[in-house]
Homo-oligomer: A and B are copies of this chain.
Amino acid sequence: MYVILVYDVKQQRVGKLLKLCRRYLHWIQNSVFEGEISDVKLQELLLQAASFLDKEEDSILLFKSRTEQWLEKQVWGRERSPLGSFL
């Protein structure tokens, strides 16, 4: 499946989470990752994240779609990472 992952975590844990997410997904903007991932791999990512994140302070938001085709992406402004279409 295709996922968009947006994290909101305390500064001191950002580096570790970035490194972890990069092993599974593509970084597209500041705190946003996307990519094709299996359910098993996604659970693996979340389990590892849970081992060092603080459930009371940090959060990870996931949007899952069966296919990337169902989503159109656009970027306004500064481009961080190449994407399909631009405004």
Contact = CB atoms under 8 A, between A and B. Distances in A.
A87 interface: yes
Interface of A: 4, 6, 8, 28-32, 46, 49-50, 53-66, 70-80, 87
30 contacts: A4-B63, A6-B29, A6-B30, A6-B31, A6-B32, A8-B30, A31-B31, A32-B61, A46-B87, A49-B76, A50-B76, A53-B77, A54-B77, A55-B78, A58-B77, A59-B76, A59-B78, A59-B79, A59-B80, A60-B76, A61-B74, A61-B75, A61-B76, A62-B74, A63-B71, A63-B73, A65-B70, A65-B71, A70-B71, A71-B71
Contact of A59 (B6, B59, B77): B77
A-B pairs, 6 with minimum CB distance: A59-B77, A8-B30, A60-B76, A59-B78, A62-B74, A64-B72
Contacts of A32: 6, 61
